[in-house]
Amino acid sequence: MNLVGEAYGFRVSESLSDWPGELPAMETRHGIVIGDARGLAELADDAVELVVTSPPYPMVEMWDEVFGDLDNDVRTALDSGDGERAFELMHAQLDAVWAELSRVLVDGGIACINIGDATRSVGGSFRVYQNHARIIEAFEHHGFVPLPEILWRKPTNSGTKFMGSGMVPPNAYVTLEHEYILVFRNGSESREFEPGADHRYEAAYFWEERNQWFSDLWTEVRGEQQTLENGELRERSAAFPFEIPYRLINMYSVYGDTVLDPFWGTGTTSLAALVAGRNSLGYELEPSFVDVFRDRIGSVTDLSKSVGRQRLSAHRAFVKQRRDSGDRFEYESEPYGFPVMTTQEESLQLYAVRDVVEGAADGGWWQERVNAGAADKRHWYRATHGPIDE
């Protein structure tokens, strides 16, 4: 068995000796800067290994005010009916964030950007504003290499969605029912790891999860994990479904890594990082969202246990199904004893959150990543995790 906490350079808390299972606990850190992500001024070079985010969507009306506050010319362009200029000015605000990502992300680190296109009439003319294409251009400009992207299908209220489009050709428009997860690598080379690096192999996913997660079409991401109960708040904060950052974090980072969300919102990315046992950092303009996050992490222990147990039970169901159809397995999970498809899954180990403490930024982990600044603009959390062993 590996001493997980020690392997990743984390302090192993003695108070956790009552945590069931053979492995000692590991710790993760989570920090939020209340401030403007344009420039990411507080972050050190190479501070993070993964970026997962969903920015405000240019030309979607609910974000006009945010973009107007970032640059008043946006309002002038919209008022004068110049949609193309408003679109470009809004993207210029996002560009200021994208421009710094290659500095704060390690070489070979992955950036995943969830974005939807917008349809809108401005100055009497209807068109689609292709946010995804404009963001791909910006990332390429900053030295990122595009990787195959994912489309996820949003839940729709069928029936009413075509209202107004009529039944006669040719002037109706199709409805946008998907969003993009754009995936980029920072530079031309992938990250390198020591051969057999424990923290990489323990962070493995199951073969059948790989087949689902690495498909370019996600159709059921809403699933059961509703982590923002209040529908109105979910709408106002535009939180993405928990399943999106949770999958991306498992797909593109290992234990010990830090995930950055520069458009943090109510912290779905940090919540997913907690559940997946990774560190996280976030930037957010709206200070009240930290209170929402505080409420959300009240149930993170239960959430992480249920997510972990669901993954294990889905794997057991997969094993049964294969065996029932006469297939055999050659490999066995070390911690769980059940069969797995490949040798790469043998050390896969899931963790649940034991405890989250809000407090001061203690020690070198922060200093290596975040420069000093106004303490009231920062929120720090330290979490302990224990292995899920059933």
Ligand X SMILES: C[S@@+](CC[C@H](N)C(=O)[O-])C[C@H]1O[C@@H](n2cnc3c(N)ncnc32)[C@H](O)[C@@H]1O
Q: Using CB under 6 A as the criterion, which residues of the chain lie in contact with ligand X when the complex forms?
A: 36-38, 54-56, 66, 237-240, 263, 265-266, 268, 283-286
Q: Is the CB of 37 or the CB of 77 nearer to ligand X?
A: 37
- Which residues is 43 bridged to in the sheet? 370
CB proximity list for 51: less than 8 A, separation 6 or greater:
101, 105, 109, 110, 111, 112, 113, 259, 260, 261, 262
Q: Is the CB of 55 or the CB of 335 nearer to ligand X?
A: 55
Q: Is the CB of 228 or the CB of 383 nearer to ligand X?
A: 228
Q: Is the CB of 36 or the CB of 346 nearer to ligand X?
A: 36
The C-alpha atoms of residue 52 and residue 1 are separated, in whole angstroms, by 31
Residue nearest to ligand X (CB): 265
Q: How far is the CB of 282 from ligand X (least distance, A)?
A: 9
312 phi and psi angles, rounded to 5 deg = -65, -40
Residue from 10, 46, 42, 35 nearest 25 by CA = 10
Q: How far is the CB of 236 from ligand X (least distance, A)?
A: 9
Q: How far is the CB of 251 from ligand X (least distance, A)?
A: 17
Q: Would the CA dihedral through 305, 217, 120, 64 be positive or negative?
A: positive
Q: Is the CB of 24 or the CB of 267 nearer to ligand X?
A: 267
Q: Would the CA dihedral through 100, 105, 111, 113 be positive or negative?
A: negative
Q: How far is the CB of 28 from ligand X (least distance, A)?
A: 19
- Which residues is 353 bridged to in the sheet? 385
Neighbours of 44 (CB within 10 A): 15
Q: How far is the CB of 284 from ligand X (least distance, A)?
A: 5
Q: How far is the CB of 203 from ligand X (least distance, A)?
A: 22
Q: Is the CB of 201 or the CB of 240 nearer to ligand X?
A: 240
